[in-house]
Structure 1
Amino acid sequence: MSELKEITSLDLAALVASRVCHDIISPVGAITNGLEVLDEEGSEDMREFAMDLIRKSARQASAKLQFARLAFGAAGSAGAEIDLGDAQVVATGFMENEKSDLDWKLARHLMPKNFVKLLLNLILIANQCVPRGGTILVEMEGDPKLPSFTVKASGVNPRIPLGMKETLSGEEPERVDAHSVQPIYTLLLARESDMKLAIDKDEETVLITASPV
């Protein structure tokens, strides 16, 4: 693969927006299905089932949107800082709907927004590495102004998704689309933050690190 080429800001924005829409289509569609059942069914059991589906799907959609707002959104003006406690809340809410458990070991600090966005995107990548579920351990060393992040994904048959290692190292992916944009976005965040990324695997764990250049 060749070196990753620059992506225009318009293309990047369009691809990230497509990724976010893809993530929330399923729970929003489930809400619509639940409302249709309420309109059509007279059975009390079916109405209760529909209400449970709507409640669960609404929570899931809200959690995904709150996570995306912090992980992909502007999150304030240039130079803004984000409370790691807020990041933990949205990460925990997001992971409640996933197969893996989140083990967040970071103390509460204010941190430059791009570091926080980078960390949340590393959690997304780690979650892809344990499709059968497991534990995602999140740790940090160093000063909040110059941190090093370690994210470990442990579970049954962990894997590094095809092309992920190459993309995070800066190589051009085979395709640039809504599926591949998230690791590309993560790489761009790392570059903007003067961080280098690495991802490696042993039998039971995928280890993802972000450290100062």
Structure 2
Amino acid sequence: MSVFNELSSIDLAALVASRVCHDIISPVGAITNGLEVLDEEGNEDMAEFAMDLIRKSARHASAKLQFARIAFGAAGSAGSEIDLGDAQSVATGFMENEKAELVWEVERMLLPKNKVKLLLNLILIVNQCIPRGGTITVGMENGPDEPVFTLTAEGRNARVHTMIAEIIDGREPERIDAHTVQPIYAVLLAEEAGMTISLDSDGEKIMCKAQPKLNSS
């Protein structure tokens, strides 16, 4: 059992909520700034700029919230399944605002909720490994009963952050906060889904795999 299971459900919910709020503060703040510019009369050029900023920021905020709804939210009742087509849609929308390009090579099918949530959280993890951008390729082996997720991130100066590596290995980080909760949440999702996560690097390539536990039925 992971050391993260000692984290109370209330604390986990609070930290995840903080993470989601942190992600949408920037685009929502940009919308507010744009509206303030519109309130200033007599500058048509700035008004056009403000409307463009509001449109882009609204799309950005919407994409992040739609992604978070599936990656962190309930997304249906307990034991429900999620369409991987919906997961692809929200992942594509989210990555349009990131530096890396997403290549989705997973067929559309229904999978248990926690496995789909895990896949989306793995995208967040490997995206952090290529801060200067690159390509994230998402694949899946086997069928829906015992899927194996494979994610490859390639980019300049690709590296696995020490904190992420420690959490994936099941070690508790120096502090548990809104910045570290996402990989912790991924580990807990993997355990709930009867899967394990591995993360390896080879030059400017990061390989992440989630597969069923050996003793899993």
Q: TM-score, normalised by structure 1?
A: 0.97
CA distance in 1, matches of 2:4, 2:17: 21
Match of 1:16 in 2: 16
CA distance in 1, matches of 2:6, 2:61: 32
Match of 2:197 in 1: 197
CA distance in 1, matches of 2:62, 2:41: 26
CA distance in 2, matches of 1:109, 1:164: 29
Match of 2:119 in 1: 119
Relative to 1, partners in 2 of residues 1:173 and 1:112: Cα closer, same or farther, differing over 3 Å? same
Residue 143 of structure 1: how far off its partner (Å)? 1.3
Match of 1:33 in 2: 33
CA distance in 2, matches of 1:35, 1:145: 49
CA deviations on 1:94-150 (whole Å, 9 max, x unpaired) are 000000000000000011000000000000001101000000000000111210001
Relative to 1, partners in 2 of residues 1:51 and 1:78: Cα closer, same or farther, differing over 3 Å? same
Match of 1:86 in 2: 86
SS in 2 for 1:146: coil
Structure 2 unaligned residues grouped into runs of 5+: none
Match of 2:157 in 1: 157
CA distance in 2, matches of 1:114, 1:108: 16
Root mean square deviation of aligned Cα: 1.1
Residue 43 of structure 1: how far off its partner (Å)? 1.5
Q: How does 1:64-143 map to 2 (within 5 A)?
A: 64-143=64-143
CA deviations on 1:60-79 (whole Å, 9 max, x unpaired) are 00000000000000111111
CA contact (8 A) 2:5 2:188 kept: no
Relative to 1, partners in 2 of residues 1:174 and 1:52: Cα closer, same or farther, differing over 3 Å? same
CA distance in 1, matches of 2:209, 2:158: 16
CA distance in 2, matches of 1:144, 1:6: 30
Percent identity of the aligned residues? 69
Structure 1 runs of 4+ aligned residues shifted over 2 Å read: 2-5
SS in 1 for 2:147: strand
CA distance in 1, matches of 2:124, 2:190: 15
